[in-house]
A and B are shown apart, each in its own frame.
Chain A
């Protein structure tokens, strides 16, 4: 399965990439903002998206709103510093499947990824 990482921080994408590799996911595509993510997603058809909220050009919410118009099923995990409850609710309403607040430990992100994918499998 291909996983798309959307974050303007290369360091953060590398951290996510390493954690995914530990879980056995090595087929990765990347985007540095929401706009780029839309075109990468169209071309690469990822099976899971890890998405930052605050990014230049188009933020995470902008991406979700456009992406969900055509794709209702691909699971999206918001990985963000936005920790306020209203933000979480807003994201979930927009179509996010899981939510991880930075800072996180590798164990936490691993757990959430597995949780998200098993929910997807069950559905």
Chain B
């Protein structure tokens, strides 16, 4: 029998991957198992340029053993792999739990989130530890089957920079250098002294309670509250919200509150307009347009240059400068001058307390007088008298202290309160101006410019038409009555 010319004796051969990450030794069936030895296999691989390491040798031996076990009756391919490189890990910030943004949105144990009281920002104290920047690792090099080193990919540094409000210490430890809001804008991590909200105060932010200044890019939605020890600037509309502001409130988009809001302002109030707002302002109130149906109390001056005071009740301690007073429709508009309701209340309380102490003192004096009139001088009488004299002394001291406080408050009112009203356009019917127990109700429209002042001597409200008119009693243009 002749042997076909195209028949080739089977032999083992080796191949390598393109990137040399592995090599394969193909051992065909039918070889004499004795010829498939460690040495012959290694040589086959070495002929391909493979550099065998101990690990690779083990892989090869396992394959050879398998071939022998099958007594050469099966073709096998032994795969020998190089050592891949281990890439480095990227750097990252390992946050202190309370400084991690994820912490803000956690549900409570009942898996409920209180959307009104959730917090959408993180406040930090000066010196507070924030977390640490973990450095990237370089990785570990590998080796391909040809003995060539495989370079690892080095990890990238954490994509974050800090400004001078944060100290980066040993081991990348981050410490706040001032009190404020922790902010990560782009790659820059910093502590802002003010809280800046990019949208509305609503369910996305919850109520705001912040020690410092707050700036709100849009408005404040119904039923949300904002408390800040500093100033608050709101660029959009403030709806029926609660505001407690330590310094000034800038309501650039106005306030329309449906009579359900309360704004307490420790400093000045600047607003585009006020509609159905209840507000207590310790400083001045400067309103661009109308003040409509508001319950307003202003310790400083009230300026409504571009609009009128329409409806509602307004108490002002300082000067008033408005375009118009009252509504052309004749709606009731009340303005009380030279009055700070809270302070008046204090005065009234002090008066009541003085009266109360005086009554007690009169009783004690009467009792002491009785002892003296009766010439009571037994030991028991003397002790009783000592007791009465002690009570008398206590009450006298208390009376002096309360009266002194009350006088201080009165002095404050006297200094703070001015009766100086300027109306440029008109006072409309239905407007009542009250001051120091006198109420002047306008029943007819009075065109401006008109000024109203207090005549100390005559103890009455007076007015002046135009810049240079004579001062005349307000009873000339309004119905005057005494009020208590």
Which listed segment binds A: B160-168, B383-391, B399-407?
Answer: B383-391
Tell me if A12 and B386 are in contact (CB < 8 A). Answer: yes
Check if B363 is an interface residue, CB within 8 A of chain A: no
A residues 56-89 near B (Cβ < 8 Å) are 81
Taking a contact as CB atoms closer than 8 A, the residue among B383, B392, B394 that contacts A102 in the complex is: B383
Q: Say yes or no for A18: interface residue by CB 8 A criterion.
A: yes
Contact B390 A81 (CB under 8 A): no
A107 CA / B393 CA spacing, docked (Å): 9
B393-417 to A contact mask, C-beta < 8 Å, 1/0:
1100000000000000000000000
Chain A residues numbered 75-123 whose CB sits less than 8 Å from any CB in chain B: 81, 101-107
Task: Name the B residues within 8 Å of A26 (CB-CB).
Answer: none
B390 to chain A, nearest CB (A): 5
Number of interface residues of B (CB under 8 A): 13
| Bound CA–CA A101/B379 (angstroms) | 10
CB distance from B377 to the nearest CB of A (A): 8
Interface centre among B378, B388, B389, B390 (most CB of A within 10 A): B390
For B390, the closest partner residue in chain A by CB is: A15
| Nearest CB on B from A6, distance (A) | 15
How far is B378's CA from A102's CA once the two chains are assembled, in angstroms? 10
Kindly state whether residue B382 has any CB partner on chain A within 8 Å. yes
Given the known interface contacts A11-B387, A15-B386, A15-B387, the answer about A106 and B379 at a Cβ–Cβ threshold of 8 Å is no
Cα A101 to Cα B377 in complex, Å, equals 12
Task: Decide if A39 is an interface residue (CB 8 Å cutoff).
Answer: no
Chain B, residue nearest A79 (CB): B386
Q: Chain A nearest CB: distance from B380 CB in Å?
A: 8
Taking CB atoms, residues of chain B closer than 8 Å to A105 are 389-390, 392-393
Known: A54-B379, A81-B379. A18 touches B385 (CB 8 A): no
- What residues on A are CB-neighbors of B382 within 8 Å? 81, 101-103
Do the beta carbons of A103 and B389 come within 8 Å of each other? Answer: yes
Inter-subunit contact B390/A106 (CB<8 Å): yes
Which residues of chain B are near A19, meaning CB under 8 Å? 390
Cα separation A84 to B393 with both chains bound (whole Å)? 26
Tell me, rounded to whole Å, the shortest Cβ–Cβ distance linking A4 to chain B.
Answer: 19
By a CB distance below 8 angstroms, the chain B residues around A104 are 386, 389
Q: Which residues of A contact B379 (CB under 8 A)?
A: 54, 81, 102
Which of A54, A81, A102, A103 counts the most chain B CB atoms within 10 A?
A: A103
**Complex Cα distance A107/B397, Å?**
12
A54-B379, A81-B379 are known contacts. Are A103 and B393 too (CB-CB below 8 A)?
no
Bound complex: CA A103 to CA B390 (Å): 10
Complex interface bits, A10-25 against B, C-beta within 8 A gives 1, otherwise 0: 0110010011000000
Closest-CB distance, B309 to chain A (whole angstroms): 53
Across the interface, do A106 and B393 meet the contact criterion of CB distance under 8 Å?
yes
A12 to B387, CA, bound (A): 7
CA distance A19 to B392 in the complex (A): 13
A106 to B389, CA, bound (A): 8
Given contacts A54-B379, A81-B379, contact A102 B385 (CB under 8 A): yes
Within 8 A of B (CB), among A1-52: 9, 11-12, 15, 18-19
* Interchain CA distance A103-B377 in the complex, whole Å: 9
- Closest Cβ of chain A to B386, distance in Å, is 4
* Complex interface: chain A residues within 8 A of B385 (CB): 102-103
Q: Complex formed: what's the CA distance from A105 to B391 in Å? A: 10
A81 and B383 form a contact (CB under 8 A): yes
Complex CA distance for A54 and B388, rounded to whole angstroms? 20
A residues within 8 A CB of B378?
Answer: 81
In this complex, which of B379, B385, B394 has the most chain A Cβ atoms within 10 angstroms of its Cβ?
A: B379
What is the bound-complex CA distance between A103 and B382, given in angstroms?
5
| Chain A residues within an 8 Å CB radius of B383 | 9, 11-12, 81, 102-103
Chain A min CB distance to B483 (Å): 44
Q: A9-B383, A15-B387, A106-B393 are in contact. List 10 more A-B contacts (CB 8 A).
A: A11-B383, A12-B387, A18-B394, A19-B390, A101-B382, A102-B383, A103-B386, A105-B389, A105-B392, A106-B390
Residue contacts A-B, CB under 8 angstroms, 18 given: A11-B383, A12-B383, A15-B390, A18-B394, A54-B379, A81-B379, A81-B383, A102-B379, A102-B382, A102-B386, A103-B385, A103-B388, A103-B389, A104-B389, A105-B389, A105-B392, A106-B389, A106-B393
